[in-house]
Amino acid sequence: MKEKYGAESGAVDGNSAPDPSESNSGAESGTVDGDSAPVPSESDPNTENRPMHCVVGGAHAFILRISSFFGLAPLRFESRSNGFSVGISSAMCVYSYILVTVLVISTIFGLVAEINVGVDLSVRMTSRMSQFVSTCDVLVVVITAGAGVYGAPKRMRNMLKFMESVASVDTSIGAHYSLATERKLCGILIAILLFFSVLITDDFFFYALQAKKKNRQWDVVTNYIGFYLLWYVVMILELQFAFTALSVRARFQAVNGALALTARHIAVPLEKVRDPTPLNIFAIRVAAESRRCANNVSLLVDTMPGREHAVIIRNAVSGEPKLVVPPCEAIRRLACLHGSLCSVVQRIGNSYGLPLIVILISTLLHLIVTPYFLIMEIIVSAQRIHFLVLQFMWCVTHILRMFVVVEPCHYTITEGKRTEGLVCRLMTSTPSTGMLPSRLELFSRQLMLQSVGYTPMGMCTLDRPLVASVLGAVTTYLVILIQFQRL
């Protein structure tokens, strides 16, 4: 039966010219596999450093514009009919570097100035100990923002590259663009930023008011303005990562949707059919000028250079998605797409590695220190209501920051597990004849070897168990502290 496969797949692809020779030679002589095939120069060096562009829209364009303002996305935006065409901009790089350097220097000078004022006049550093804690706090923010901004050009270049992978998924799957989803995401984004702005402003005014009693309000304003602006940079960096991860996760969802459609096509019953048109595909579309080179990511071009072959699902006029290739071929292409999405996840994890680790450590430290002050304030005295509310809001913010980073990763892992479940279901239910079982076996082995997950710098996996262990450590620590307080 194996000898028939070449012809079979040839018939499927519609262009059987090169295939029979291959299958024949494979059956008859041993010299074919490596020698006769010319090595295609698909990864020629000039594609590496060509100017990269891609078209973004919706929530992703929104976060990129904000990031760009804070120096975290040195991109040039050109308005198009369907969004913005973005590309690396040298001018924006210079702007980013100048911005963050000025902020970092002013922050550090402010810190030194506050320390030199002494413990009696300062409003935040009323003891040597709090001088030390405040210095740590400021340094953590400075390092995170620095790691974010100085690494931004490289990160954006990476982003442009993997957006091509992502766009090839969109083409293959026949994805829709949902304005409603994009608007909802923009709404969430604005809500988080507004909440954070209110908190930062409140915190700022609280200490300015405290300082007014000592007639130092203008000193405090000039000393801390850089610090508060860097906090913004950190927050935007986290949101940028979260939206990038969510955007990749939407593609995993689309692949799973296509897998479910394939399953229904070969009469495998599924418990619950998700909405057939995965509308929450975000708006990333590779522009026309980079469409040509998108081929070297779409792995399905090995037999003919036609532009329609990568399409797995096309939407009929009725809006119903329809498989345009046989299931066996669909599984093969979906496995390829899954593999390239896995490597996209890995590359995102690498490019956000250092900032994510610094963010996690700083969140852990803040989650240990802030609730302690909050609880002590509650137990010892409840007079300073403003301080109490401020501390509570900081607590909420730090927990929120952790969830902003971890939840998109968790959703991605969940989609990865759904893929495993769907492949299992397909394996047990398909008949054992034809190419399908061997394709599914390949897919299952691929799933065993490649796991979906963000591991910044290989330090830890960003998932809910990480949140559980962080919260567990914080809880135990707080209980110990409060218990001893009690003694």
Residue 249 near its own copies by CB under 8 A: no
From 223-231, 244-252, 258-266, 391-399, span contacting its own copies (CB under 8 A): 258-266
Residue 8 near its own copies by CB under 8 A: yes
Residue 368 near its own copies by CB under 8 A: yes
Q: Are strands 75-80 and 284-285 parallel, antiparallel or unpaired?
A: unpaired
Instruction: State which of positions 124-153 bind its own copies (CB under 8 A).
Output: 128-129, 132
15, 21, 29, 222: which one binds its own copies (CB under 8 A): 29
What is the smallest separation between the CB atom of 208 and its own copies, expressed in angstroms? 26
94, 112, 191, 442: which one binds its own copies (CB under 8 A): 442
Residue 310 near its own copies by CB under 8 A: no
Token couple for 397: 């913010």
- Dihedral, CA of residue 61, residue 66, residue 72 and residue 78, to nearest 10: 50
160, 173, 328, 462: which one binds its own copies (CB under 8 A): 328
Residue 160 near its own copies by CB under 8 A: no
115, 188, 311, 364: which one binds its own copies (CB under 8 A): 364
Q: Maximum Cα–Cα distance for the chain, whole Å?
A: 93
3-state secondary structure of 30: coil
138, 149, 436, 462: which one binds its own copies (CB under 8 A): 436
What is the smallest separation between the CB atom of 221 and its own copies, expressed in angstroms? 28
Residue 311 near its own copies by CB under 8 A: no
Residue 218 near its own copies by CB under 8 A: no
Q: In this complex, which beta carbon is closest to its own copies, that of residue 145 or of residue 297?
A: 297
* Closest residue by Cα to residue 145 from 358, 310, 323, 325: 358
Using CA atoms, how far apart are residues 75 and 233, in angstroms rounded to an integer? 16
423, 452, 454, 462: which one binds its own copies (CB under 8 A): 423
Is there a contact between 238 and 398 (Cβ–Cβ < 8 Å)? Answer: no
* Closest residue by Cα to residue 287 from 43, 92, 75, 83: 83
Q: In this complex, which beta carbon is closest to its own copies, that of residue 191 or of residue 379?
A: 379
Token couple for 28: 């008859």
Instruction: State which of positions 270-299 bind its own copies (CB under 8 A).
Output: 270-273, 296-297, 299
93, 121, 392, 434: which one binds its own copies (CB under 8 A): 434
Using CA atoms, how far apart are residues 199 and 213, in angstroms rounded to an integer? 22
Instruction: State which of positions 388-407 bind its own copies (CB under 8 A).
Output: none
* Closest residue by Cα to residue 355 from 236, 467, 243: 236
Q: In this complex, which beta carbon is closest to its own copies, that of residue 283 or of residue 359?
A: 359
361, 388, 395, 400: which one binds its own copies (CB under 8 A): 361
Token couple for 152: 């931004």
Q: In this complex, which beta carbon is closest to its own copies, that of residue 88 or of residue 312?
A: 312
Q: Read out DSSP for 51-112?
A: PP-EEE-HHHHHHHHHHHHTTS--EEEEEETTEEEEEE-HHHHHHHHHHHHHHHHHHHHHHH
Using CA atoms, how far apart are residues 75 and 70, in angstroms rounded to an integer? 12
Using CA atoms, how far apart are residues 50 and 450, in angstroms rounded to an integer? 30
Residue 309 near its own copies by CB under 8 A: no
Q: What count of residues does the chain have?
A: 487
Q: How far is CA 354 from CA 146, 387, 426, 451, in A?
A: 11, 33, 39, 21
From 172-180, 208-216, 250-258, 408-416, span contacting its own copies (CB under 8 A): 408-416
From 8-16, 74-82, 94-102, 285-293, span contacting its own copies (CB under 8 A): 8-16
Count of residues engaged in binding its own copies, rule: CB under 8 A: 126
Token couple for 104: 């970092």
75, 163, 335, 358: which one binds its own copies (CB under 8 A): 335
3-state secondary structure of 252: helix
160, 266, 286, 345: which one binds its own copies (CB under 8 A): 266
Burial of 391 (0-12, 13-18, 19+ CB in 10 A): buried
Residue 268 near its own copies by CB under 8 A: yes
What is the smallest separation between the CB atom of 230 and its own copies, expressed in angstroms? 22
Residue 457 near its own copies by CB under 8 A: yes
From 77-85, 147-155, 335-343, 384-392, span contacting its own copies (CB under 8 A): 335-343
Residue 460 near its own copies by CB under 8 A: yes
Give the DSSP H or E segment for 138.
Answer: helix 128-150
Using CA atoms, how far apart are residues 311 and 298, in angstroms rounded to an integer? 10
